[in-house]
Structures are given as C-alpha cells and as structure tokens.
Amino acid sequence: MSRIYGLVLSVEKGRAGRGFIIVPSVVNTWVEERPSGLAIEAEAEREGVSVAVRVEAGAPYQPAWIAVVGLEGRDWSGSAYVCVLPKFERVGVVRRARGDDKSYAVGAASAEKVGGGYYLGYRWRNGDRLRGKLLEISRSGNGVDGWEVVAEFDKHDYGYLSFEKPCFVKGAEYFMYCADVGGTWRIFLVEAGRPEDLELPGRPVVDGGKDPAAIWDGDRCVLAYSDLRNRGHDLTVVETGDFEEVRVLAASIFYSQLIPQGNAWARTHMHAGAILKAGGYYLLLYDALPREPQSFGSGWLGVAVSRNLREWVDLTLEEPLMRGGGVDQTFRYVDAVVEGDCYLLYAEEEAETGRKDLVVYHGR
C-alpha cells in the first residue's frame, strides 16, 4: 500500500525553514530526490515527519524546489513531496481597479518575458454592467513598474459579453484568451511573433472552457482550464501539438484527486493561474473557494505538483498558501516569471474596500 503526502514551505534564499507533515505510524524516512540548491533533512517523529530545509544563497531561482522524501510504516510505504517557494514581498500595484467596491477588478493576468521585456495580459471589470469589458496587454522593462499599454481590446468590438483570463503560452509565440460568447464560454488561440502585434479574434480551440493556463513542453502545448461541464468548474488538463487534435490528460483534478487526498477548502470557482516546469515536475498554481461562505469573483491560492500531468498531489490540503485582504480575502489568478535571480509573482488581490487590483510580488 502506497501513501502520498505533500508540504509547501516559503523560505528566503540563504535561510532555513521547517515544516511538519502529519503521517500516522511512520517509522522511517529518507530523502529520495533533492534538487540542486536545496538541502533537506527529514526525521520520523511520533505523529509524523519533521522536515528541515535550507536554500543556498546563490542558488538560481526555480519556479519551485521540489524534493521527495521516502516514507515507511510497519505495513506500508509512501512518499512526501516537499515544495519550497521563496518568501514573497509585495513591491507594487501594476493596475488599480477603477472603482472602490467588489464589483470592480483588474487582473486575471498572464505573465511572460519576451526578449528584454515583461508582458502582462489582463482584463478590466468596471462594475457589474461592464464585466470583462477590456482585455489589455502591457509591457515593462523590469516587470515591476513603468507599465505601458501596447494593445487593448473591447468586448463590444467582437460581440462578446465578457473577457476573463488571457494566457501567454509560456515558451511559444501563442496567446490564448477566453470570452463569454453568449450561452457559453470559449477559449481562443491567436498567433503572433510579438505581443504588440496581437490581433483578435483568433480561432476557437475549446468550447465550454475558460481561464486557460498553458506552457509549451517539447513538441506539445499543455493546457489547463476551468471546465464548465465539471462540478465547481473543476480543472481539465489537455495536450495538443497542433491545436486540432486534443488529448485529455486529466478530466478532473479536484474532485477526482485533490479532494480525495484530503483538501479541506477547495470546492468551487476553480481556476488554473499557471502551469510551470520545476525540474522534472509540473507546478500548478491554482485558486479555489470553499462552498461556504458563498463568494463570487474570489479565490485563494493553492499549489499542486505532478510528474506526468495525469496524477496530481495537493501541497495545500489544510489551508491556502496565500489570501488577500477585504471581506473575501481574494488572492487569485496567480502567475509567475522566473529567471535566474528574479522571481516575480503576479496576482489579482483584494483591497480592504473590496476592489481587486493587479499586484506584483518578488521572491526573496
């Protein structure tokens, strides 16, 4: 019998961190996998496993450092996935919502570095009557400030009822976005050498789906999206080499995998913020909400990992990794750009008034 556990830690470079995994009746542990730049020790204790890590001061950033600890009980064996992220510090507001209550939001962003510039694609929600009115692309030289709008699209020009999360396909010259086309949501694909040259509408690639997150991996695009056919808009993960033939890798992540693993809070409003490669693993930054108290237009950040995109391990079973302010504590649609000594995290975060701004954090 094999058991799987997970743990996520936020640790500053050059510093140590500790965590504890509740594992009943464990008697022995050992480190099976350890990424470069991370030191890790694990010790079996009475009620679980104590984990100690240290990130080398000069280690280049990864989307995450992922280690695997082997576990042994009296009549079972298993593994614990330990995901180490940087300490995050907020360093700026990229865009501030244009109103000061919960019906105003800017975000649902996708981030990518192209050439010497950082690009963000995001939507504006300007009150309930103007939901998802604009889709904008902005560029910055450093990814933190000095953002200049390089493209803007109005939903009315295409007959859409709303825009929501767009998506730069990381590692390829493709762009995706989703729109309410009346009666359903649809994901569209646009090809362009530079983000400044994007022209909508592009071509539809997914019906009944929204909020795409994608990465080019070898000879294929890996795409995760909120599937409107699924309970709670549970995520579907697919792969495609040509955007014509699409193969389903996981038809459901939450209700078939993460919730049975013991996730205590993610039940509805499920979104994929980003899929990132971290060594031999895929890192999923997701957001979701519990069923109660009910909240619309919100979400909290969770983390899951996979070796093969079919089987996923939740690292935030008991509580979200990050939440925002205000009544709903929104911290959702999270994406990242990671390169060398730079780790930038973008999110739609709620202010105390209820509005939701597009903000940027950096890793320490």
CATH code of the domain covering residue 7 = 2.60.40.10
Number of domains in the chain: 2
Judgement on whether residues 67 and 160 belong to the same structural domain of the protein: no
Could you give the residue ranges of the DSSP H alpha helices within 254-321? 259-261
Judgement on whether residues 108 and 72 belong to the same structural domain of the protein: no
Model pLDDT, residue 354: 95
Q: Does position 294 have pLDDT exceeding 80, yes or no?
A: no
Say how far apart CA 176 and CA 187 lie, in whole Å. 7
Give the Cβ contact number of residue 172 at 10 Å. 14
Say how far apart CA 204 and CA 280 lie, in whole Å. 31
The tokens for 168 are 């730069």
pLDDT, the chain, mean: 96
Judgement on whether residues 67 and 133 belong to the same structural domain of the protein: no
Look up the domain containing 19 and give its range. Answer: 2-85
Which DSSP letter does residue 59 get? P
Each residue's pLDDT tens digit, 221-263: 999 999 999 999 999 999 999 999 999 999 999 999 999 999 9
Say how far apart CA 34 and CA 41 lie, in whole Å. 10
Query: What is the distance in angstroms between the CA of the first residue and the CA of the last residue of the chain?
Result: 39
The one-letter code for the residue type at 22 is I
Examine the fold and report which residue of 85, 102, 127 is the final residue of a domain before the chain moves on: 85
Task: Using DSSP, state whether 320 is helix, strand or coil.
Answer: coil
Each residue's pLDDT tens digit, 62-78: 999 999 999 999 999 99
Q: Is 10 left (phi over 0), alpha (psi -120 to 50) or beta?
A: beta
Contact by Cβ (8 Å): 305, 81: yes
Examine the fold and report which residue of 39, 64, 85 is the final residue of a domain before the chain moves on: 85
Judgement on whether residues 62 and 98 belong to the same structural domain of the protein: no
Judgement on whether residues 276 and 233 belong to the same structural domain of the protein: yes
Each residue's pLDDT tens digit, 167-194: 999 999 999 999 999 999 999 999 988 9
In sequence order, what are the beta bridge partners of 117? 114
* pLDDT band per the 50, 70, 90 thresholds, residue 297: confident
Judgement on whether residues 134 and 149 belong to the same structural domain of the protein: yes
Give the Cβ contact number of residue 319 at 10 Å. 11
Model pLDDT, residue 292: 85
Judgement on whether residues 63 and 79 belong to the same structural domain of the protein: yes
Distance of CA 208 to the CA centre of its chain: 20
Each residue's pLDDT tens digit, 110-166: 999 999 999 999 999 999 889 999 999 999 999 999 999 999 999 999 999 999 999
Examine the fold and report which residue of 62, 85, 108 is the final residue of a domain before the chain moves on: 85
Letter string b/e over residues 220-255, b meaning 16 or more CB atoms within 10 A of that residue's CB: ebbbbbbbeebebbbbbbbbbeebeeeeebbebbbb
List the beta strands (DSSP E) in 155-299. Answer: 162-163, 167-168, 174-180, 185-191, 203-207, 209-217, 220-227, 235-240, 246-250, 268-278, 281-289
Judgement on whether residues 72 and 154 belong to the same structural domain of the protein: no
CATH code of the domain covering residue 270 = 2.115.10.20
Model pLDDT, residue 1: 57
* pLDDT band per the 50, 70, 90 thresholds, residue 314: very high
- Please name the residues in contact with 330: beta carbons below 8 A apart, sequence gap of 6 or more: 297, 298, 299, 300, 323, 324, 348, 349, 350, 356
> Across the chain, which distance is largest between two alpha carbons, in Å?
65
The tokens for 121 are 């694609």
Which DSSP letter does residue 61 get? P
Judgement on whether residues 62 and 164 belong to the same structural domain of the protein: no
As a whole number of Å, the CA-based R_g of the chain is 20
Could you give the residue ranges of the DSSP H alpha helices within 83-203? none
Judgement on whether residues 70 and 215 belong to the same structural domain of the protein: no
pTM listed for this prediction: 0.97
Model pLDDT, residue 154: 98
Judgement on whether residues 45 and 100 belong to the same structural domain of the protein: no
Judgement on whether residues 95 and 77 belong to the same structural domain of the protein: no
The tokens for 356 are 């939701």
Each residue's pLDDT tens digit, 318-360: 999 999 999 999 999 999 999 999 999 999 999 999 999 999 9
Model pLDDT, residue 76: 94
